[in-house]
A and B are shown apart, each in its own frame.
Chain A
Amino acid sequence: MTQPLPAQAAAPAIEMTNVAVGTLHDPAILVAENVNWTVRAGDYWVVGGLQGAGKSDFLMLAGGVMPPQRGQYRFFGEPMPIFEDARLKTRLRLGLVFDGGQLFNHLTVAENVALPLRYHRNLGPAETGAAVGELLACLELEPCAESLPGAVGYSWRKRAGLARALALQPEVLLADNPLGGVDPRQANWWLAFLDQLSRGHPLMQHRPVTLVVTTADFRRWKGHARQFALLRDRSLRVLGDWAQLAAANRDLVRELLTDGTQTE
């Protein structure tokens, strides 16, 4: 378990108690049970797991897209998921970046990024121009702003998904496998950008963003993330920081620390 920070008075950002995680397509199939997990404001978590370990489903639950099958999940003290208007404000403190971006295919990249702003602030297309332009410029998405998602490459769709999740300036950002399927240059960009978000990015008024990302390879997060957890055998194990991760039971984490060329 993570050591609670002494000066932490407010409710933790994410607090899961004995949560059972179902899958998005069939809630009866559980990918993890008895999950006890606390994320405090300012944390930078990496949740590792092999493909099929349920990382995405776990993140969908944390992102409030589906309810826990058992147990309780509180987000800043509010039980999740939130679908009612009355508690929507809490809900919008959280941003979720999907693995493939999950852009709306009938809207251009710029319209995708503008949609949450327009919907929640009741704005016309012209009024979001400045905010969207700034976001797109910051994420180097300007060249494909007017393209439909189908015409844009995979890694740029992913980045547009990040832009859309940041549009409402969330305090907690969950990113599903941000380094999956992107080339090294894109991967470095993601690491640098997430670091900057964690420290405080000008886009977010220099307010540090609490981060949770999933990965199938821990090594790339060394020196970036501060807390590590492992999703394996239908349970979430909190490993601690990088030193504790490296010292952890090797069998558990070995697969996520070795590169493909090494075989044992």
Chain B
Amino acid sequence: MENGNASPLRAARARLWLLRLPLPRSLTRYLGRMLFRFLLTLQGIGSFALITLGVMISRSRVARRVIRPLVFQEASRAGLRLMPMFLFMAAALGLVVIGQTVSWLTRVGAINFLGTVMVVVVVRELGPLVTALLVLARVGTANVIELGTARAMGEVEALEALGIDPVHYLVVPRVLGMALGVFALTVYLILGALFSGYLWAFVQDVPLRPGDYVRQLAGALSGLDFALLAIKTFCFGSIIALVTCYHGLAQPLRLEEVSRATVAAVAQSVIACVLLDALFIIIYLVT
């Protein structure tokens, strides 16, 4: 490794000056610089993701008894502890979707499609996306602040001084834990929403027996749905973790910059998740 690029965390530093320049008045330049900023951020997060992946693989056997408890801790933080909120969200989501669609479906005599609507809306789209955004709001923000403060307080240098890879110790458990957390929460959210959806339909006197409802759901689901749901939620979780860790860790921060980093991380995580979601819609449309 070359001297100048020895630490992966310092690679982002050279790009920083461009990000800090004030915006020019001319609109074309403004747009051009916005585009460049976008590309630089994309490049930064992309290389950070690759570094993390590399560390995850190359150090999979290093210090397992330190890293594994951390993964569980993060998974519980990004999963288990959000369960009460997600049960509430599941009930609300079921009500919203069923409440809106039932009246329309009965009017056009298409109540047989209730299960299909639930699958298309909740399983494929809303479930994963709502989960990702909620986890981002509750855990992602805390992540940036925690790591940004640690960075500003010199804890990253302290890790390096002890020969501990900061990416291995700080980033890898968060990526794994959040991917696991988003996946598990999405599954619970979807199950809860499907159940509460039926309850609301039942309350609205829709002539639909539980057996028929389940049959409709099963008919609308394909094997691909399960696979894509798993891939999608793992991607959402990793993206949120990577973007928030990148903003907290990858650049040298001072304490006063932590709030700006948090705002940027949240905005970029939302954009990244929505873009990824759009990508999956294409897959659904093609297959």
Residues of A whose CB lies within 8 Å of any CB of B are 24-25, 27, 60, 63-68, 81, 83-85, 88, 91-92, 95-96, 98, 100, 102-106, 115-116, 118-120, 122-124, 164-165, 168
Q: How large is the interface on B (under 10, 10 to 19, 20 to 34, 35 or more residues)?
A: 20 to 34
Docked pose: A98 CA to B149 CA in angstroms: 17
Check A119–B153 contact: CB distance below 8 A: no
The SS class assigned to the A binding surface is loop
A46 to B6, CA, bound (A): 28
**CB–CB B153/A115 < 8 A:** no
Query: For residue B146, which residue of chain A has the nearest CB?
Result: A106
Residues on B with C-beta less than 8 A from A66 are 7, 10
In the complex, the answer to whether B150 meets A67 with C-beta atoms within 8 Å is no
User: What CA separation (Å) do A168 and B153 show in the bound complex?
Assistant: 23
CB-based contact B65/A65 at 8 Å:
no
- With both beta carbons as reference points, the residue of chain A lying nearest to B16 in the complex is identified as A26
Is B154's beta carbon under 8 Å from chain A?
Answer: yes
Asked whether any CB of chain A lies closer than 8 Å to the CB of B155, the reply is yes
A168, B6: Cα distance in complex, Å: 23
Residues of A with C-beta under 8 A to B1: 83-84
Cα separation A100 to B155 with both chains bound (whole Å): 11
B:135-188 near A, CB below 8 Å: 146, 149-150, 153-155, 157-165, 169
- How far, in whole Å, are A2 and B5 apart by their CA atoms in the complex? 33
A115, B254: Cα distance in complex, Å: 25
Contact yes or no, B65 A124, CB < 8 A: yes
Output the nearest chain A residue to B149 by Cβ-Cβ distance: A105
Say whether B65 contacts A96, CB under 8 Å.
Answer: no
Q: List 26 A-B contacts (CB under 8 A).
A: A24-B252, A63-B161, A64-B160, A65-B161, A66-B7, A67-B4, A67-B7, A68-B3, A81-B6, A83-B7, A85-B62, A88-B163, A96-B161, A98-B154, A98-B157, A100-B154, A102-B157, A103-B155, A115-B66, A116-B163, A118-B65, A119-B63, A120-B164, A123-B65, A164-B162, A168-B163
